Structure 1
């Protein structure tokens, strides 16, 4: 969802506005964005209105043909050294030129990916009173749910609820995870940790290092899962689901559903990341740059 110039005019309609009080009241309610939508809101609360210019897709028809997110096939990874070397080179090129790539024929079964996406939906679509038990900003808890981790600091809120779960290096007690998504979270953790180790090996080789280098410096030690949920929005032209941002210092493995919506900024263009059934998206953030100084 994108902000707009119309959104800025809406901001000017209110001469007096106490954002701090509105944010605190919303946070105290523990209902999340889904909760206020379920309550029948037809206009966005002021805290969600963005005052930034329209984020338009600058991609013209020529650029659409020229630019596409790299897709790397892992099917031959374990077959022989030559195929592995080709994959390492593809990863090196993708990291240098994009910082993003998609992987097909990886280690996570499509069924598990579909289950974890369903688990995210099922958690967020539970009754509000059930979810309130998990609504918190206490970073010491293994599992929390809230709206915008930076809600009290950001100038504008995004139309998004998220649950957060610390799965490694010290896995949570199963009872700390909501039953509606508990089993698939632990199943997904096993597969994504294996894929993470594989990626760190390949990234190490792409940097010209020994395969275990990034693993040995504990880059693969932790696992943090975030399950974003974007409810229908009554005024989508006035807000965002997720602001433009960069990830730094860690490797991110993303799943998106068929609706899609993820974009990458590349050579002054916003490029759509197409939905590919069975594929995972990898965002290296600033990891490779940081690792090159180690």
Structure 2
């Protein structure tokens, strides 16, 4: 038994050493990919259960997430139908794409290209941004949860906190500075339009979600999923749900994003000019389960061209005066009692930063058992 324990300790030590060496190299997976490796480091290899249901993109899939046209959201004749479509999508899929959202197609392309340009810079330029300071400022790193997860995933990220405390503009990498600042404004406008519709879908005033500061805490992540030489042994990002209110996602044409719907994984094919919206765990809780956050993942990239996605996570900025959050009281009644208990900001943050990304772990902890 003592011998076995020693072997386990040695394995753990090797893993810790590998992870630390990789992190301190500041090369990211883009650097590994560009170096021409033909096999991935051991700590990127996922367990058999995770790898067993990886489904190559665009294979025999007929179902996809809904697409909602926002071109007539200010029309009294069309708005009720759009609200119904969005409510249904948020409840049954947790994901949907929006078109005619008001952002020029040229801006979408410029934003993706700028984030791609950052990731394609030489190591000596990018590495000065490489650090691990989650929750504030500007951070470039591979796997935000690198030291908390059981297996790393094949992606790098540029993270910029846009609100409530935005870094000085000069701190944002020059390669994508103007585009990141502009994209925050565009994506926030789209998010606030969507949140108005989602609020009205619950029978609330359209401005209710804005009053609750649902768009006041924002983090932008520019993900890069470079070519992976062994895409069947790892993932781009493991299956998870987003912890916040909603997420706005812009992606290039390289596939890989999949959403869990029932017992199958749906491919999310980019709609020209479209943006992807998904429900986060907090919105599921606040809506008392009317809206649903769902698992999604990104497959490791088998193509030579990198997959690029630009994500903004929207979170509430101000919690209730008593420091708690939970289902909105106006949505509760004797016929619709709370499904979840109230919880604190410390509980929320501790749950997120205390482990790797996962699926609805906070929701599981606060669900009221009958």
Note if contact 1:202-1:211 (Cα within 8 Å) is conserved in structure 2. Answer: yes
Answering whether residue 34 of structure 2 is matched by residue 24 of structure 1, we say no
Evaluate the alpha carbon distance shift between residue 37 and residue 56 of structure 1 in structure 2; reply closer, same or farther with a 3 A threshold.
Answer: closer
Aligned match of 2:243 in 248, 266, 275? 248
Note if contact 2:246-2:283 (Cα within 8 Å) is conserved in structure 1. Answer: no
Note if contact 2:199-2:209 (Cα within 8 Å) is conserved in structure 1. Answer: yes
Evaluate the alpha carbon distance shift between residue 101 and residue 81 of structure 1 in structure 2; reply closer, same or farther with a 3 A threshold.
Answer: same
Evaluate the alpha carbon distance shift between residue 23 and residue 226 of structure 1 in structure 2; reply closer, same or farther with a 3 A threshold.
Answer: same
Answering whether residue 140 of structure 2 is matched by residue 145 of structure 1, we say yes
Aligned match of 1:41 in 37, 40, 45? 37
1:190-246 superposed Cα distances (whole Å, 9 cap, x missing partner): 111111111111111011101111111111112211111011112222111111111
Evaluate the alpha carbon distance shift between residue 60 and residue 31 of structure 1 in structure 2; reply closer, same or farther with a 3 A threshold.
Answer: closer
**Structure-2 residue corresponding to 1:55:** 53
Counting only pairs closer than 5 Å after superposition, residues 85-164 of structure 1 correspond to structure 2 as 85-139=80-134, 141-164=136-159
**Structure-1 residue corresponding to 2:318:** none
Answering whether residue 180 of structure 2 is matched by residue 185 of structure 1, we say yes
Aligned length: 276
Report the 3-state secondary structure (helix = DSSP H, G, I; strand = E; otherwise coil) of the residue aligned with 2:223.
Answer: strand
Between 1:276-285 and 1:15-24, the stretch displaced more is: 15-24
Deviation of 1:272 (Å): 0.7
Deviation of 1:176 (Å): 0.6
Counting only pairs closer than 5 Å after superposition, residues 203-282 of structure 1 correspond to structure 2 as 203-282=198-277
1:124-172 superposed Cα distances (whole Å, 9 cap, x missing partner): 1100111111001012641111010110111111111111001122322
Answering whether residue 77 of structure 2 is matched by residue 77 of structure 1, we say no
Provide the C-alpha distance between the structure 1 equivalents of 2:275 and 2:233, rounded to a whole number of angstroms: 30
Question: Gapped runs of 5+ residues in structure 2?
Answer: 1-9, 288-326, 329-370
Note if contact 2:114-2:175 (Cα within 8 Å) is conserved in structure 1. Answer: yes
Note if contact 1:251-1:284 (Cα within 8 Å) is conserved in structure 2. Answer: yes
RMSD: 1.8
Deviation of 1:267 (Å): 1.2
**Structure-2 residue corresponding to 1:4:** none
Q: Could you state the TM-score of these two structures normalised by the residue count of structure 2?
A: 0.71
Q: Could you state the TM-score of these two structures normalised by the residue count of structure 1?
A: 0.89
Note if contact 1:57-1:269 (Cα within 8 Å) is conserved in structure 2. Answer: no
